[in-house]
Amino acid sequence: MRKHTTRTKGMGRKVSMMVVPSIFMATAALADTAGGSGSMSPLMIVFLAFIGVFVLMQLIPALAIFGSLLSAVFRKSRKTEESAPVNERI
Protein backbone atom coordinates (compact mmCIF):
# COMPACT_ATOMS: atom_id res chain seq x y z
CA MET A 1 0.00 0.00 0.00
CA ARG A 2 1.39 3.38 -1.01
CA LYS A 3 1.52 6.23 1.52
CA HIS A 4 -0.27 9.34 0.28
CA THR A 5 1.26 12.74 1.03
CA THR A 6 -0.25 16.08 0.20
CA ARG A 7 1.61 18.78 -1.70
CA THR A 8 2.05 21.00 1.37
CA LYS A 9 3.26 18.13 3.54
CA GLY A 10 5.83 17.16 0.90
CA MET A 11 6.93 20.78 0.54
CA GLY A 12 7.25 21.12 4.31
CA ARG A 13 9.54 18.11 4.43
CA LYS A 14 11.73 19.55 1.67
CA VAL A 15 11.96 22.93 3.40
CA SER A 16 12.76 21.36 6.76
CA MET A 17 15.50 19.26 5.16
CA MET A 18 17.07 22.48 3.88
CA VAL A 19 16.53 24.70 6.93
CA VAL A 20 17.52 22.37 9.78
CA PRO A 21 21.10 21.72 8.59
CA SER A 22 21.62 25.42 7.87
CA ILE A 23 20.56 26.29 11.43
CA PHE A 24 23.10 23.88 12.87
CA MET A 25 25.84 25.25 10.61
CA ALA A 26 25.07 28.91 11.39
CA THR A 27 27.84 30.78 13.15
CA ALA A 28 28.51 34.31 14.28
CA ALA A 29 31.23 34.71 11.67
CA LEU A 30 29.27 37.24 9.61
CA ALA A 31 28.72 39.55 12.57
CA ASP A 32 32.26 39.02 13.84
CA THR A 33 34.15 39.74 10.62
CA ALA A 34 32.83 43.29 10.28
CA GLY A 35 34.37 44.48 13.57
CA GLY A 36 37.97 44.75 14.54
CA SER A 37 39.53 42.97 17.46
CA GLY A 38 38.10 44.07 20.78
CA SER A 39 35.33 46.23 19.34
CA MET A 40 31.72 45.57 18.47
CA SER A 41 30.83 45.12 14.84
CA PRO A 42 28.33 47.47 13.19
CA LEU A 43 25.94 44.55 12.72
CA MET A 44 26.03 43.84 16.45
CA ILE A 45 25.31 47.49 17.25
CA VAL A 46 22.32 47.47 14.87
CA PHE A 47 21.07 44.25 16.44
CA LEU A 48 21.32 45.65 19.98
CA ALA A 49 19.57 48.87 18.93
CA PHE A 50 16.80 46.85 17.31
CA ILE A 51 16.28 44.81 20.48
CA GLY A 52 16.39 48.00 22.59
CA VAL A 53 13.58 49.55 20.55
CA PHE A 54 11.40 46.50 21.15
CA VAL A 55 12.11 46.56 24.88
CA LEU A 56 11.15 50.23 25.11
CA MET A 57 7.99 49.65 23.08
CA GLN A 58 6.91 47.02 25.61
CA LEU A 59 8.01 49.02 28.64
CA ILE A 60 5.64 51.96 28.03
CA PRO A 61 2.36 49.95 28.11
CA ALA A 62 3.71 47.84 30.98
CA LEU A 63 4.24 50.96 33.10
CA ALA A 64 0.75 52.24 32.24
CA ILE A 65 -0.84 48.93 33.24
CA PHE A 66 1.23 48.74 36.43
CA GLY A 67 0.25 52.31 37.37
CA SER A 68 -3.44 51.61 36.88
CA LEU A 69 -3.10 48.43 38.94
CA LEU A 70 -1.50 50.33 41.82
CA SER A 71 -4.11 53.08 41.70
CA ALA A 72 -6.92 50.50 41.70
CA VAL A 73 -5.45 48.65 44.67
CA PHE A 74 -4.75 51.67 46.86
CA ARG A 75 -7.77 53.83 45.94
CA LYS A 76 -10.59 53.97 48.46
CA SER A 77 -13.74 52.31 47.22
CA ARG A 78 -16.76 54.61 46.77
CA LYS A 79 -19.21 51.80 47.49
CA THR A 80 -17.99 51.41 51.07
CA GLU A 81 -18.27 55.16 51.71
CA GLU A 82 -21.84 55.40 50.40
CA SER A 83 -23.08 52.25 52.13
CA ALA A 84 -21.90 53.33 55.59
CA PRO A 85 -24.37 55.11 57.87
CA VAL A 86 -24.28 58.91 57.86
CA ASN A 87 -22.95 59.26 61.41
CA GLU A 88 -19.97 56.94 60.63
CA ARG A 89 -18.81 58.85 57.55
CA ILE A 90 -15.79 61.05 58.06
What is the Cα–Cα distance from 31 to 58, expressed in whole angstroms?
Answer: 26
- Indicate the pTM of the whole model: 0.39
pLDDT 10s digits, 44-74: 889 999 999 999 999 999 999 999 999 999 9
Residue-wise pLDDT for 19-42, tens only, equals: 777 667 666 665 555 555 667 788
Tell me the mean pLDDT in the region 4-26: 70
Q: How confident is the model at residue 14 (pLDDT cuts 50, 70, 90)?
A: confident
Measured torsion, CA atoms of residues 36, 38, 43, 47, in degrees rounded to the nearest 10: 180
pLDDT band at 80 (very low <50, low <70, confident <90, very high): low
